[in-house]
Structure 1
Amino acid sequence: MATLPSKAGTKGVPRVDRERQVLAAATEEFGRYGYEATTVAAIAARVGVTKPLLHQYFGSKQDLYLACLNPIGDRLVDAVHAAMAEHGTGAAPTPLRVLNALFTALNEERQMWFVLYDPSLPPGSGAAHRAAYYRDAIDDLAAIGTADLLHTAGTSDPLDADALTYAWRGLCTALVRWWINHPDQSPEAMAQRCARLFEVASRAVLAADDST
């Protein structure tokens, strides 16, 4: 008769809870230090379990990374998609809706952004391919938004659209990095801050146009 997988964890902690602890610790380690510099031993030490136990639960380091990445990627893609689908009177401009959605999705574990946007993933690996899949999905949504903005501004240059999408990704990364360094800032506060900054930038551009 086959033996069923044990639901027991370690030191009286149910396995499902221990796995959740491992994923939270791994997300923090991968996001803070990058895939290359993160070790399974360091993650195990944070959780207070053994390295062999982590391998038993999740397999290889890449398997553990993917176990962190997949829910992160799904959450961020869904958040951006939902934000872009919002319409109606009184709705905030699309960029602000998207930023608000990202901040809300990332609030519990802000390092999640850098698990997805990790430059140290081994080229050609399954981890790199999966991360690229999610990044491409987010970029595709961003391209739709930037094309709409450029159309409103009266331009349809594809290089303008590509440059704006690239700049948008960099802006999101910079804002999340700043946010991590200011843990007291809520998603709502960040969204309001971005609205103010966008307004200042818009006024500066208009002032420059007037001066010429």
Structure 2
Amino acid sequence: MGGATGSKRVPRAVREQQMLDAGVRAFARSGYQNASMDDIAELAGVSKPLVYLYLNSKEELFTACIRREAAALVTAVRAAVERDAPADRQLWSGLSGFFAHAAEHPEGWTLLHVQARTHGQPYAREVAAMRAEIVEFVTQLIGAAAREHARGAARARTLAGTEVSGLAHALVGAAESLADWAGDGRAGGHSAQEAAATLMNFAWAGLGNLLQGTGWSPDRVG
């Protein structure tokens, strides 16, 4: 029987994802400066010219890796939120999704939280945009919690928009730090749910006091 028996052609989208997988791994492990296109091509199982054909340059590959990992993290957080649950459960489930994704994709987390932030403003801006999206989402959850509390409490305090935004920034910053702590082994095997509960115990009780009008003030010290 005639005819060639060569290997099937890999679709462009699949091949590109293989290159991005290799790029994330190389950049996370070696850093942007030390990761070479030769290494990335070898990890992806393709030739270096093909990497350049698909992604043009090392800079564009790095940017594409950052954007993919950032989008995946935001999607994971949003998908984890239990939409019909009480506000505290929604926030806990979103945090659980954040910690689970960071734990399941440690190289992606390293790329976003370490490499992208330390190799120039264009890359740092990509991560800042992702962080702003997560902060806005958390702001909405905290705002919903405040409204929920106001409906069920006789002496509920209304939070100003700047307070809600500040709380959201603080919570996201704490989550990032806790993800680093969990990722380097200091957590002693804590699950994503346990890490989220740790942060909720730190933040939610204080938020509850704030909503009840018993927030901390330096005037009350001493």
> 2:141 aligns to what?
145
> 2:52 aligns to what?
55
Q: Where do 1:85-164 residues align within 5 Å? A: 86-88=83-85, 93-117=89-113, 118-123=116-121, 125=122, 127-149=123-145, 152=149, 154-164=157-167
Q: 1:110 to 1:154 in 2, by over 3 A?
A: farther
184, 190, 193: which one pairs with 1:191? 193
CA contact (8 A) 2:24 2:108 kept: yes
Alpha-carbon separation, structure 2, partners of 1:88 and 1:16: 37
Per-residue deviation at 1:36? 5.6
> 1:40 aligns to what?
37
| Structure 1 length-normalised TM | 0.66
160, 179, 182: which one pairs with 2:182? 179
Q: 1:148 to 1:203 in 2, by over 3 A?
A: closer
**Aligned-partner SS, 2:63:** helix
CA contact (8 A) 1:30 1:38 kept: yes
Listed as ranges, the gaps of 5+ residues in structure 1 are 1-5
64, 70, 74: which one pairs with 1:73? 70
Q: 1:34 to 1:99 in 2, by over 3 A?
A: farther
Q: 1:145 to 1:204 in 2, by over 3 A?
A: closer
The code of the aligned residue for 2:117 comes to P
Per-residue deviation at 1:120? 2.5
Deviation per CA, 1:137-169: give whole Å up to 9, x if none: 222112212333455472413332232222222
Alpha-carbon separation, structure 2, partners of 1:133 and 1:165: 15
Per-residue deviation at 1:53? 3.8
Structure with higher Rg: it is: 2
**Aligned-partner SS, 1:88:** coil
CA contact (8 A) 1:26 1:43 kept: yes
Alpha-carbon separation, structure 2, partners of 1:135 and 1:200: 21
**Aligned-partner SS, 1:171:** helix
Q: Percent identity?
A: 27
| Structure 2 length-normalised TM | 0.64
CA contact (8 A) 1:7 1:15 kept: no
After the TM superposition, which of the residue ranges 105-114 and 165-174 deviates more from structure 2?
Answer: 105-114
After the TM superposition, which of the residue ranges 95-104 and 37-46 deviates more from structure 2?
Answer: 37-46
Per-residue deviation at 1:92? 6.0
Per-residue deviation at 1:85? 5.3
Listed as ranges, the gaps of 5+ residues in structure 2 are 1-6, 150-155, 210-215
